[in-house]
Chain A
Amino acid sequence: MKCKLIYQRVDVANVLIKKYFSYENILDITKKKLDQFSELYHLVIIEPYKVQNIYFTISPIWKRHLAIHLPETKLIVMGFCNFQSRNYIDLLNLPKDFNAYVKNALTVSEDWEIPIDGADMQEYLKRFFEGHGTQSLISKLNRLQTTFNSAETLIKTGEATFQEVQNELLIPFGKSEWDGLIKRWKNYYPYFEYLPFYPQIEEIDKILKEISEFFTCKENKLDLFLKLNGSKKLKKITKDLLEIDRLYIRPEKYQR
């Protein structure tokens, strides 16, 4: 039976896992893309997962992701919780026949509980999106988009010079907002690497770097600004992050 496995490289569970599963079935799928899972039958995640020296439960996000894209997949979570179910294996109480266990497991489309061991990654990432008050991620992006759109339009229509939009819009309303956004992004970026939507995060990161270049460059700013099309790029980032938020982090917010 084909099996893909996420596992910790250095961890107490490592030894147990290596003894339990044969090597050829074990694959580190950190930062892998979805298309590599086209032949996936079941996925095993060992939790809690260590990210930036914090232990997290990440399997609920994976469950949601697989339910959308590969709904027949069986997800098995293994950990140290004193909990036994058709989809959770206590590492200290490994089933004798793993294949039989998997046969009996439920698919990701079905409703079953995952015990939270360590920090809940989903809850943690809510802070990434929510921020404080008007500092939610999407509000920040909207404000930046407003700034860039106004600046671009005023330059295109000749109603303002680049110097004017820099002094009146980009510097007072763009720079500080941007710095805040990038700081938050850098803080949370490492956590995305172990999550199924990481490929989208990579794309967003590239765009953010392009815009950052505009803010940090000292020369040819006008040319860079005109080529950048920042407003359009920010709209795309907003749209992609909203989608991630809706699907994985705060789905309840969008169910009205």
Chain B
Amino acid sequence: MRPNILIIDDDPAFISKLRFAFKNYLFKKALSWQSATSILKNNFDLILLDLKLNPDSDELNGLEYIKYLKDAHPDTPLVVVTADEATDTVVKAMKEGADDFLRKSEYDLLTWQKKFELLIENKRLAKQVKNYEQEQFIFIGESPEILEIKNTLRILAENPDITVLITGETGVGKEVAARYLHQQSLRKNGPFVAVNLSSIQENLIESALFGHKKGAFTGANYEREGYFRKANEGILFLDEIGDISPEIQIKLLRFLDTKKIQIVGDEKDVQLDVQIIAATNQDLANLVKEGKFRSDLYFRLKNFQIEIPPLRTRCSDISLLLDYYLSKAGISLNEDNIEKNVIQNLLNYHWPGNVRELKNVVDSILLKMRILKKVKIDLDCLPEELKNYSSLNEKELSDVQTEQNDLLKQQAVTELTAIERSLAKTFGQKQAAGELLSMSADQLRYRVLKWWKFFPKIIDKFPNIKRYYKLKD
């Protein structure tokens, strides 16, 4: 697909020349700022802005549009183009937010082409990284329990200094929940540093957490920053908190009280601004009883505790998660793509490894599909533990499925009704409708399409949704 470039320049001859020379690009032109504003709602891979849009004036009026363009398209590279030779013009443009600068007097087709390619590629990579990061930690779950947890996390996020303890079985999504909190928090622009304390050797844990000076101990050949300092002005997620030694527990407690740490090999205290979110799958109260965990630290941590329930107790989330991970490979969770008995097995499985296990199973299924050259997912694609799984007899299975289906349908109707009313109120403006429901337009769309996939006929009851999302029978 050819990259799409918006060029805002009052010289039609220049635009025509660029169009001919840069055959691998699509150019959308705007000969004035007024005409540019009417096409700004489209997406572009690159924007070229002439700094002197009024030929009768020497003023660089394009400078004032830079900020406006960056606000409207923050992720799109903006290159200012000018015939002006003065260096301070470059400085002004970059200060206003331009990403790069080209002079017409220094026009060279190959140089400009390379610059366009680089900027567009950087944009694509940045988007990929952002998507990847976001996808890794999307908190998927619509069960009442998870919705309540999300709500709690949103409230906790308003208090950027409180310590939070997240508990739950292995693989249930503790880090995902912590990252969700980070995304809602005032600290969202700060770092999120995740540490699995059980994966670090005991004799190295202190320097890993607090850093060390060069020469602090044998083998300390360089200075180390440590996780605490890396997380300054952000969040430090300490997973497997139950595994830390008493010595580290004392240092952690000291930090929670004073907001200070001591770097190994240095006597000076270092003041830091770090929010601690701890997590464990162990019973800390029991560890306290056994004398393995300090009670004062335990009470400090459990002030705000969130328990994430295991996946098997929230069946509606199983189908959501399966659908999410399968859809990334372009496969919908329905009988067109997956054998009925396989769907049953997946939905009924007790998932002892929770979300992590579910994701791994989906990956394994997709791989098996390719190896066995299957067009449809059948029992052969399942791992052994799922192949023969059946916790209920057929009738019971059928009843459970019907009950699950009814619950899901009920959930669908509730959500779709809310979306339908919001769309009616905002005259079909999806962004505004989303805002009414505290969602983004993308999240709204996701829900609509999800329910349409599960219950296509239900959408007939929601004419606004059908109309504004162009859902056909």
Query: Which residues of A are at the interface with B, using a C-beta cutoff of 8 A?
Result: 133-134, 138-139, 142-143, 145-147, 149-150, 153-154, 159-160, 168-169, 172-173, 238, 242, 254, 256
Q: Which residues of B contact A159 (CB under 8 A)?
A: 23
Q: Which residues of B contact A147 (CB under 8 A)?
A: 17
Whole-angstrom CA separation of A75 from B183 in the bound complex: 75
Q: Is the CB of B17 within 8 A of A150?
A: yes
Q: Is the CB of B109 within 8 A of A154?
A: yes
Q: Which residues of A contact B108 (CB under 8 A)?
A: 149, 153
Q: Report how many residues on chain B are interfacial, defined by Cβ distance under 8 Å.
A: 20
Given contacts A168-B20, A173-B13, contact A149 B55 (CB under 8 A): no
Whole-angstrom CA separation of A145 from B21 in the bound complex: 13
**Can you list, as one digit per residue, whether each of B1-28 has a CB less than 8 Å from chain A (1) or not (0)?**
0000000000101101100110100000
B95 touches A (CB below 8 Å)? no
Given contacts A133-B56, A169-B17, contact A146 B88 (CB under 8 A): no
Which listed residue, A138, A153, A168, touches B105 by the CB 8 Å rule? A138
**Can you list, as one digit per residue, whether each of B203-220 has a CB less than 8 Å from chain A (1) or not (0)?**
000000000000000000
Residue with the greatest number of chain B CB neighbours at <10 A, chosen from A138, A146, A169: A146
B104 touches A (CB below 8 Å)? yes
Q: Which residues of A contact B107 (CB under 8 A)?
A: 142, 145-146, 149
Q: How far is the CB of A245 from chain B (nearest CB, A)?
A: 10
B110 touches A (CB below 8 Å)? yes
Q: How far is the CB of B364 from chain A (nearest CB, A)?
A: 47
Q: Is the CB of A142 within 8 A of B83?
A: yes
Q: Which residues of A contact B109 (CB under 8 A)?
A: 149-150, 153-154
B86 touches A (CB below 8 Å)? yes
Q: How far is the CB of A133 from chain B (nearest CB, A)?
A: 5
Q: Is the CB of A143 within 8 A of B105?
A: no
Q: How many A-B residue pairs have CB under 8 A?
A: 51
Quick one: which of B85-109 are within 8 Å of A by CB?
85-86, 88, 104-105, 107-109
Q: Is the CB of A142 within 8 A of B21?
A: no
Q: Is the CB of B17 within 8 A of A134?
A: no
Q: Is the CB of B104 within 8 A of A146?
A: yes
Q: With contacts A149-B109, A173-B17 known, what are 11 further pairs, Cβ within 8 A?
A: A134-B11, A138-B105, A143-B13, A143-B104, A146-B17, A149-B107, A154-B109, A159-B23, A168-B20, A169-B17, A169-B20
Q: How far is the CB of B16 from chain A (nearest CB, A)?
A: 7
Q: How far is the CB of B57 from chain A (nearest CB, A)?
A: 10
Q: Is the CB of B20 within 8 A of A150?
A: yes
Whole-angstrom CA separation of A169 from B107 in the bound complex: 15
Q: How far is the CB of B85 from chain A (nearest CB, A)?
A: 8
Q: Is the interface of A mostly helix, strand, loop or mixed?
A: helix
Q: Which residues of A contact B20 (CB under 8 A)?
A: 150, 160, 168-169
Q: Is the CB of B83 within 8 A of A173?
A: no
Q: Is the CB of B55 within 8 A of A133?
A: yes
Q: Which residues of A contact B16 (CB under 8 A)?
A: 172-173
Sorted nearest first, the 7 A-B pairs with minimum C-beta distance are A150-B21, A153-B109, A146-B107, A168-B20, A133-B55, A134-B55, A142-B105
Whole-angstrom CA separation of A218 from B59 in the bound complex: 43
Q: How far is the CB of A189 from chain B (nearest CB, A)?
A: 23
What are 24 of the A-B contact pairs (CB < 8 Å)?
A134-B55, A138-B105, A139-B83, A142-B83, A142-B104, A142-B107, A143-B11, A143-B13, A143-B14, A146-B104, A146-B107, A149-B108, A150-B17, A150-B20, A150-B109, A153-B108, A154-B109, A160-B20, A169-B21, A173-B16, A173-B17, A242-B85, A256-B86, A256-B88
Q: Which residues of A contact B88 (CB under 8 A)?
A: 256
Residue with the greatest number of chain A CB neighbours at <10 A, chosen from B13, B20, B23, B86: B20
Query: Chain B residue with minimal CB distance to A134?
Result: B55
Whole-angstrom CA separation of A241 from B56 in the bound complex: 23
Q: Is the interface of B mostly helix, strand, loop or mixed?
A: helix
Q: Which residues of B contact A256 (CB under 8 A)?
A: 86, 88
Whole-angstrom CA separation of A142 from B83 in the bound complex: 8
Q: Which residues of A contact B23 (CB under 8 A)?
A: 159
Q: Is the CB of B105 within 8 A of A238?
A: yes
Given contacts A150-B20, A150-B21, A154-B21, contact A138 B83 (CB under 8 A): yes
Query: Chain B residue with minimal CB distance to A177?
Result: B13
Q: Which residues of B contact A172 (CB under 8 A)?
A: 13, 16
Whole-angstrom CA separation of A73 from B103 in the bound complex: 39
Whole-angstrom CA separation of A143 from B55 in the bound complex: 15
**Can you list, as one digit per residue, whether each of B46-69 has a CB less than 8 Å from chain A (1) or not (0)?**
000000000110000000000000
Q: How far is the CB of A255 from chain B (nearest CB, A)?
A: 10
Q: Which residues of B contact A142 (CB under 8 A)?
A: 83, 104-105, 107
Q: How far is the CB of B105 from chain A (nearest CB, A)?
A: 5
**Can you list, as one digit per residue, whether each of B441-471 has a CB less than 8 Å from chain A (1) or not (0)?**
0000000000000000000000000000000
Q: How far is the CB of A105 from chain B (nearest CB, A)?
A: 37
Whole-angstrom CA separation of A153 from B20 in the bound complex: 12
Residue with the greatest number of chain B CB neighbours at <10 A, chosen from A134, A138, A139, A254: A134
Q: Is the CB of B86 within 8 A of A153?
A: no
Whole-angstrom CA separation of A254 from B84 in the bound complex: 11
Query: Chain A residue with minimal CB distance to B86?
Result: A256
Q: How far is the CB of A86 from chain B (nearest CB, A)?
A: 37
Q: Which residues of B contact A238 (CB under 8 A)?
A: 105
Q: How far is the CB of B89 from chain A (nearest CB, A)?
A: 9
**Can you list, as one digit per residue, whether each of B301-345 has a CB less than 8 Å from chain A (1) or not (0)?**
000000000000000000000000000000000000000000000
Quick one: which of B149-183 are within 8 Å of A by CB?
none
Q: Which residues of B contact A138 (CB under 8 A)?
A: 83, 105
Query: Chain A residue with minimal CB distance to B10?
Result: A134
Q: Which residues of A contact B83 (CB under 8 A)?
A: 138-139, 142
Query: Chain A residue with minimal CB distance to B110?
Result: A153
Q: How far is the CB of A238 from chain B (nearest CB, A)?
A: 7
Q: Which residues of A contact B104 (CB under 8 A)?
A: 142-143, 146
Residue with the greatest number of chain A CB neighbours at <10 A, chosen from B16, B55, B88, B105: B105
Whole-angstrom CA separation of A142 from B81 in the bound complex: 13
Q: Which residues of A contact B11 (CB under 8 A)?
A: 134, 143
Q: How far is the CB of B280 from chain A (nearest CB, A)?
A: 62
Whole-angstrom CA separation of A138 from B16 in the bound complex: 20
Whole-angstrom CA separation of A146 from B9 in the bound complex: 15
Q: Which residues of A contact B85 (CB under 8 A)?
A: 242, 254
